[in-house]
Structure 1
Amino acid sequence: MKNLIYLSLILLLSCQAKAPQNSDYLELSGQTMGSSYSISYQDSLGRNFGPAIDSLLVAINAEVSTYIPSSTISQWNQSEKGIKIDDRPHFLRNYLLAKQVFQESEAWLDPSLMPLVNYWGFGYAQKRPVLAVDSQKVDSLRALCAFGQLELDKGYLYKTKAGNELDFSALAKGDAVDELGRYLASQGVRNYMVEIGGELRLRGHQEGAQGWYIGINLPKTEAGLKEIQNIVEIKDYSLATSGNYRNFYEVEGQKYAHTINPKTGYPEKSQLLSASIFAPNCGRADAWATACMAMGLQRAQQLLPQQKELEAHLIYVDSLGQLQSWSTPKAKTWIKK
């Protein structure tokens, strides 16, 4: 589950674009991708981009949502050999970004884990806890997770096995945030915040500030949605945060979280509680946040400094059970609390 990031100093309104009195900042909010979206933007013309935003979100979901049977990704998953995708721009963009981060992260981001995600009860199939783990079944499903072997040729994305399935949930919200931001920019909007399910793209500044002030949740199961661990100030960057402390279930005292380790096929257990990733584009930040939760603290600390235009703030629990944090140098300068 992605952390919900509390947007301090932002008043979230609903339905049509609205602006506080004597302000040219407008706000939109609604539902999408199994979550909510919120947008704040400055426009002296007072234009309402709500209908265009909603139409764009419908188009994106029609290609990348595994919960829509007719979507492009569902068609690919249900196909025997694969389908033509070069006329499906949202699916293709997600696939190419997933491939990039798959390679950057040493395959810790693996969008082909859908069979395992469903097995463990966190996918589009029936959501239920696994009461008795079948290790042979896990191994057989893991054999279907072969993202690096998929072939894109002349507009067709081919499967290596009929049971191959894709799941872009690790990056789809972030990518959609980028698309909405690019749309606003195409309309001449320079100062805006776009957020879907806690993933953000921030450009310019919020009203009365030099940047955007964002709160990162306290990564504890019992914490409220507005309990803040850190506040960051960001300008012209994107931010995505992932954590395992809310989307999980327990069986006989054993906790099973939604992040699947692609190397083992089992839910990842780690001292890393949340990973906040900063990048120019939210889709890449979103994908890397998930990859960090899968690889764990030590490998994340090794790989993150090697990535261009990527900053990070990791929150983890030490051997004494105390919350600690680790940040890349630039991210440290953005943290105000």
Structure 2
Amino acid sequence: MDLSSNFASDFKIIMNNRQKNAIYSLVLILAVATVWFLRNRVFNENEESKVAYIYINGEAQGTTYNITYLDSASRNFKSAVDSLLLEFDKSLSTYRKGSEILTFNENDSFYFKLPYFQPVLQASQAVYEASHGAFDPTVYPLMQAWNFKQEKPTIPDSARIDSIKNYIGFDKITFNEKVVKKKMNKVRLDFNAIAQGYSIDVVFNFLVSEGIENMMIELGGELRAKGVNANGDLWAIGIDNPKPEASDVKRIAIISVDDKAMSTSGNYRNYFTYEGVRYGHTIDPRTGYPVQRDIISATVVAPTCMEADAWSTTFMVTGLEEAKEILKTLPNVSAFFIYEDGSGEMKTFTSDNLSSNIIL
């Protein structure tokens, strides 16, 4: 027997086994390290996503705004948003001296300088026509006549209302991409029922241009949302109970918003009583008088906040039955109404295309 050859063979087997064990150990170590790395990477990414949501707020248009958004670069857009809203007011604010809309109101025509006037005219015309005049930005002279800003509104007589109605009507102006003109000298515009929503769209479009995909923008109670919140869920918005004194329920509903805008209008806090009749601070442009319809809160979800803002105001004017008929013609608009029936009992109505977004 050749002992030297047997020893060499055994030694070779031992060394091969050791090499294999070393390789197996190395593979195991690499596998564990890979799992550890991936687990910690996912953990860190989750932690980053939690802290990367940025919150900014401020004041604008006589109210406040709140914006939450996800940005991996942790950029703060507050200064840019404030500048954008200030520029917006220079165009459409009826409270800012020298604004484009006030300049138009005091003249026969106006050539657009900023990019906001013409788009809101175009959107207003669409809602005016679809609502059969229930939404009408030329209502401004009637708002001035009733003067809801006072503690006790002015009660104009029927002769004055009839006189003012002669120059109420969106068909009494004409516009194109460059200029807006009056057909009657006394025509005045007020975009307070649509401009605030439009300003949210302007900020939204700015943030989208900066690469933001997950955000929620709220201004004066109106909002537009995209993507998901910090928990990875759709943004959910609560609808207040307009009669909290009647029950312990603070929220009538919670609505999830999936890349849409939402606006709520209501007369349950803004109203006055005259000769035993209760009137809301919403004027029907078709009659010239304030209304208090069966709808006491109108929430509208639409592709843009400009649309949601305009339609939530419009449905306060039309009332429930007319609103239902109009909604049939608006496939991209959905609504949640709180209304009073004939006996004064509070009830709700949800359009079919919104029912799946009601989570309470």
Q: Which TM-score band applies after superposition, normalised by the shorter structure?
A: 0.7 to 0.9
Distance 1:291 1:131, change over 3 A: closer
What is the distance in 2 between the residues matched to 1:151 and 1:232?
38
Q: Deviations over 1:201-250 (max 9, x none)?
A: 110011113200100111238699x9321111121111111111122233
What is the match of residue 71 of structure 2? 43
1:309 pairs with 2:332: yes
What is the match of residue 111 of structure 2? 84
What is the match of residue 165 of structure 2? 142
Q: CA deviation at 1:256?
A: 2.8
What is the match of residue 124 of structure 2? 98
Q: Is there any run of 5+ residues in structure 1 with no aligned partner, and where?
A: 1-19
Q: Deviations over 1:8-65 (max 9, x none)?
A: xxxxxxxxxxxx9952111111111111111000111110000000000001011101
Q: CA deviation at 1:137?
A: 0.5
What is the distance in 2 between the residues matched to 1:266 and 1:260?
5
Q: Is there any run of 5+ residues in structure 2 with no aligned partner, and where?
A: 1-47
What is the distance in 2 between the residues matched to 1:221 and 1:131?
30
1:119 pairs with 2:142: no
Distance 1:132 1:51, change over 3 A: closer
Paired amino acid for 2:82: D
What is the distance in 2 between the residues matched to 1:66 and 1:221?
33
Distance 1:23 1:320, change over 3 A: same
Q: Would the aligned equivalents of 1:177 and 1:200 in 2 still touch at CA under 8 Å?
A: yes
**Bigger shift: residues 100-109 or 198-207:** 100-109
Partner SS, residue 94 of structure 1? helix
What is the match of residue 16 of structure 1? none
What is the match of residue 25 of structure 1? 53
Partner SS, residue 276 of structure 1? strand
Structure 2 matches for 1:1-337, cutoff 5 A?
23-79=51-107, 81-85=108-112, 87-122=113-148, 127=150, 129-130=152-153, 132-153=155-176, 155-220=178-243, 227-337=250-360
What is the match of residue 5 of structure 1? none
What is the distance in 2 between the residues matched to 1:236 and 1:154?
29
What is the distance in 2 between the residues matched to 1:130 and 1:244?
15
Paired amino acid for 1:84: Y
Q: Percent identical across equivalent pairs?
A: 34
Partner SS, residue 255 of structure 1? strand
Distance 1:131 1:181, change over 3 A: closer
Specify which structure has the bigger relative contact order, considering alpha-carbon pairs within 8 angstroms and separated by 6 or more residues.
1
What is the distance in 1 between the residues matched to 2:322 and 2:144?
26
What is the distance in 2 between the residues matched to 1:238 and 1:153?
27
| Count, aligned residues | 313
Distance 1:190 1:299, change over 3 A: same
**Bigger shift: residues 283-292 or 226-235:** 226-235
Partner SS, residue 46 of structure 1? coil
Q: TM-score, normalised by structure 1?
A: 0.88
Q: Deviations over 1:272-304 (max 9, x none)?
A: 111111111110111111111111111001111
What is the distance in 2 between the residues matched to 1:39 and 1:281?
16
What is the distance in 2 between the residues matched to 1:114 and 1:221?
32
Partner SS, residue 218 of structure 2? strand
Q: Would the aligned equivalents of 1:221 and 1:246 in 2 still touch at CA under 8 Å?
A: no
Paired amino acid for 1:309: N
Partner SS, residue 31 of structure 1? strand
Q: CA deviation at 1:149?
A: 2.5
What is the match of residue 30 of structure 2? none
Q: CA deviation at 1:174?
A: 0.7
